[in-house]
Structure 1
Amino acid sequence: MTIHEITAAGIDLGSNTFRLLVANCSAGSLQVLAKKMATVRLGRGLEDYGQLHEESIQKGLAVLGSFKETLADYRLQSLRICGTEALRHANNSRHFLHKAEELLQHPIDIISGEEEARLSLAGVLAGFTEPITNPLLLVDVGGGSTELVFAPSPAEKTSVASVGLGVIGLTEKFLDPSQLDLSHLDSLLAEKLNAAFKQLGLINKGGQILIVGCGGTATSMAALDLNLSVYKAPLVHGYVLQNIAVERLWNKLVALPAATRNALPCLGEGRGEILPAGIRIYHVILQLLQENRIRISDTGLLEGILLSSLPHAAA
């Protein structure tokens, strides 16, 4: 490590997965030292019961215990831990947070949907070396919500919208194989996303927007379209996914049982259960905006959380 480098870490307590990143940071670039992910499904049943399931709480704490062991291997100069949609809304989130903070001996920030979106954008931009000149819409489909960031140009102020629809709740409510309710799902998505697009000033801008997708749904779609047997970030990052590929993946996966989808290579634990809901969100976005492609980013919220922990981020 050089004198200008800082060893930092970020932890994302998502509604579906918990993720850890440790990296050396220098002049805006990240040298990854450790990266871990585990499916916790913290948002399971949240829409119906309003609280975190005890089994998910215990699994989450076990995962954080393993993260703590990883962190102990490094001399960290900064660390930030952030919770998102499930921890924003569960009426017993304080119970989990108390145990988690005691375990990690570090405070946990429950960030707003708007901050989550901005951190995702910071992480994405850190991952792309070439300049982006087109108007950009960043889409981060999460377990409990979908975050949108619109940047008209690099010089203009970004606007954000947080849509309270994520893959866990949508799967539980609309994609049960015994009662698939696609028409109501598409109608709900169109209504909520259209409202968000109006808020962002995105109406009637078809054909002019670069749509970038980050997060587990986007990277999983790319990995499947690439037919990877093992996930390879360099191949996924920057991959351009055509609309026809999104439709093909939807038609293939929705016809398979969840257990078969979970067994597909290169997907994270349990990702197959909820991936169709995420694909459908991207399908509706492309339809509403009359766009035909998505550029995939392997970096996003996790990298943004880490970068926001650095001393200059608070300046």
Structure 2
Amino acid sequence: MSNQNNSISEIAAVDLGSNSFRLQLAHVVDGQLFFHDSLREAVRLGAGLDANKFLSSEAQQRAIDCLRRFGERLRGFPPQAVRAVATNTFRVAKNASQLLADAEAALGFPIEIIAGREEARMIYVGVSHGLPIAEHKRLVIDIGGGSTEFIIGQGIAPQRMESLYMGCVSFSLRFFPDGKITERALEQAEIAAASEIQNIRPHFTAAHWQEAVGSSGTARALGEIIRLNGWSEGEITLDGLNQLRAQLLKARDSKKLQLEGLSTDRAAVLPGGLCIMKAAFEALGITRMTAATGALREGVLYELLGRMEHHDIREHTVRSFMRRYHADHAQAKRVQKLAEQFLSHISDQLRMSHDTARQWLHWAIRLHEIGISIAHSGYHKHSAYIVENADMPGFSRMEQETLSLLVRAQRRSLSKITLPPAEHDYLTLIMVMRLSILFQRNRLDDAPPQLHLYREAPGHYRLQIQAGWLAHNPLTQAELSNEIDYWQLVNVSLKLS
């Protein structure tokens, strides 16, 4: 895998936002990114959400059509050179799972649905890499189509992150239906935004940072409109926002807005974005803000570059969780060592690469006992709950769900767990993990017996054990008997020889 990564000279990020879908490509030269091509389409996916949070077929079709075009541009890219992330609308839509499957087929690559704080973290990564190096703290505000992210960071490290469920698309649809603009609607939108911001205000006021930066389309559009219309010298200011507000009120309809720097596709969502930004300025004490060039897609690219060069934020997250929940490092190493031995026996029968399988096992094994910090009884369930629901920087929602499954299935009955199909690699990883934990239950550094795991067919495994060893280890023999029964109840065969 590392050799493949070293030969990759071009990588791509796809950002499936609630307002726009974006594709950004970059050349990789000596560990640096050089952005050279991009595509953007105003899909306005969030506008297709009905009152019950179901996406309309028309909105889904717009998304699929766009991703087919992106897929053509990405044709020939290796899988490890592309990362696609989906944000708020995919998070909240009740029929997102079907769209996700169709979207992945159209794009030709997997799509990860990322949590709000993970989105915020990657936004900061993208923004900070495009700004001059500074020692002071920065506040970054990213108003998207369906959510708004607030991040305080220093250098390239985000320190505090929040994601609020309000965006330029959702607010424009909610308060300015059909583009109609009134004083009452503006006031209601501003009050609603201020109410949301109030929940995070104590940690994001001007006392906590020295520079304010806006990212993504709303901030750039506001900055451009304010500058070109002579309301500031290039920054977003409260006076400039108020001047723009007056122009919206004068036009009475977003479709009739005629302003320098305002594009046709931005006009429909400008009122909602303006009200959110104005509320943020007033609530947090912002006097001026610069608009950054970097945003989520650049952050995705820098993360992808880091993974290729073995600087994976997910590794840092796993180590951090082990410290936070007082995991037994020595036991994790014992289990990992045996799991690697089992994996070497069967990795050539897996669809995923050996390195990928090893990575999943290492993460799951290092986190499998963190639930003991809550209670020893049922600790595997506690561990799985933490992994699935905690903020885990670097991990997408789907990755956390997969990791939670591996951790949850580490011991005891499997019959109440929704397991992957017999032919799926993750089922084999569960088998490897369970057997590794079983044979290291004594938590001693003594070498385990000679073992060899065979995957004879999907759902059919055979474990060869050193002759005569079980006769002298009756506890392990009893546990293996139980293990065979657990697997039999889910129609998976485990035999001993």
The alignment's TM-score, normalised by the length of structure 1, stands at 0.86
Q: CA deviation at 1:268?
A: 4.8
The structure with the largest helix share of the pair is 2
Give yes or no for the alignment of 1:104 onto 2:88. Answer: no
Structure 2 unpaired stretches of 5+: 1-5, 316-497
Give yes or no for the alignment of 1:182 onto 2:186. Answer: yes
Q: 1:239 to 1:121 in 2, by over 3 A?
A: farther
Give yes or no for the alignment of 1:121 onto 2:96. Answer: no
Give the structure 2 partner of residue 231 of structure 1: none
Structure-2 separation of matches of 1:122 and 1:88: 21
- Amino acid across the alignment from 2:100: L
Give yes or no for the alignment of 1:240 onto 2:235. Answer: yes
- Amino acid across the alignment from 1:69: E
Give yes or no for the alignment of 1:33 onto 2:36. Answer: yes
Give the structure 2 partner of residue 67 of structure 1: 70
Structure-2 separation of matches of 1:77 and 1:203: 40
2:21/2:43 contact within 8 Å kept: yes
Q: 1:23 to 1:251 in 2, by over 3 A?
A: same
Aligned residue among 291, 296, 304 for 1:296: 291
- Amino acid across the alignment from 1:162: S
2:15/2:86 contact within 8 Å kept: yes
Q: Deviations over 1:27-64 (max 9, x none)?
A: 66432221110011111152623111211111111111
Q: CA deviation at 1:184?
A: 2.6
Structure-2 separation of matches of 1:283 and 1:246: 7
Structure-2 separation of matches of 1:291 and 1:19: 29
Give the structure 1 partner of residue 228 of structure 2: 227
Give the structure 2 partner of residue 140 of structure 1: 142
2:48/2:58 contact within 8 Å kept: no
Q: 1:178 to 1:131 in 2, by over 3 A?
A: closer
SS for the counterpart of 1:181 is helix
Provide the aligned C-alpha RMSD in A. 2.6
Give the structure 1 partner of residue 161 of structure 2: 160
Structure-1 separation of matches of 2:226 and 2:285: 21
Q: CA deviation at 1:150?
A: 1.2
The structure with the largest strand share of the pair is 1
Structure 1 stretch displaced more, 48-57 or 65-74: 65-74
Structure (1 or 2) with the larger CA radius of gyration: 2
**1:181-200 aligned within 5 A:** 181-198=185-202
Q: 1:31 to 1:62 in 2, by over 3 A?
A: same
Aligned residue among 83, 87, 90 for 2:86: 83
Q: 1:292 to 1:57 in 2, by over 3 A?
A: same
Q: Percent identity?
A: 27
- Amino acid across the alignment from 2:137: P
Give the structure 1 partner of residue 173 of structure 2: 172
1:12/1:302 contact within 8 Å kept: yes
Give yes or no for the alignment of 1:307 onto 2:302. Answer: yes
Structure-2 separation of matches of 1:10 and 1:268: 24
Number of paired residues? 298
Structure-1 separation of matches of 2:287 and 2:239: 8
Structure 1 stretch displaced more, 112-121 or 217-226: 217-226
The alignment's TM-score, normalised by the length of structure 2, stands at 0.56
Q: CA deviation at 1:185?
A: 2.0
2:186/2:275 contact within 8 Å kept: no
Give the structure 2 partner of residue 233 of structure 1: none
Structure-2 separation of matches of 1:14 and 1:239: 26
Structure 1 stretch displaced more, 162-171 or 138-147: 162-171
1:42/1:53 contact within 8 Å kept: no
Structure-1 separation of matches of 2:268 and 2:198: 26
Give yes or no for the alignment of 1:287 onto 2:282. Answer: yes
SS for the counterpart of 1:133 is coil
Structure-1 separation of matches of 2:244 and 2:167: 19
Give yes or no for the alignment of 1:217 onto 2:212. Answer: no
Q: CA deviation at 1:209?
A: 3.0
Give the structure 2 partner of residue 235 of structure 1: none
Q: 1:253 to 1:33 in 2, by over 3 A?
A: same
SS for the counterpart of 1:186 is helix
- Amino acid across the alignment from 1:191: S
Aligned residue among 28, 40, 44 for 2:47: 44
SS for the counterpart of 2:245 is helix
Q: Deviations over 1:181-238 (max 9, x none)?
A: 233322221121021223xx234718x531110011111112212329xxxxxxxxx9
2:48/2:59 contact within 8 Å kept: no
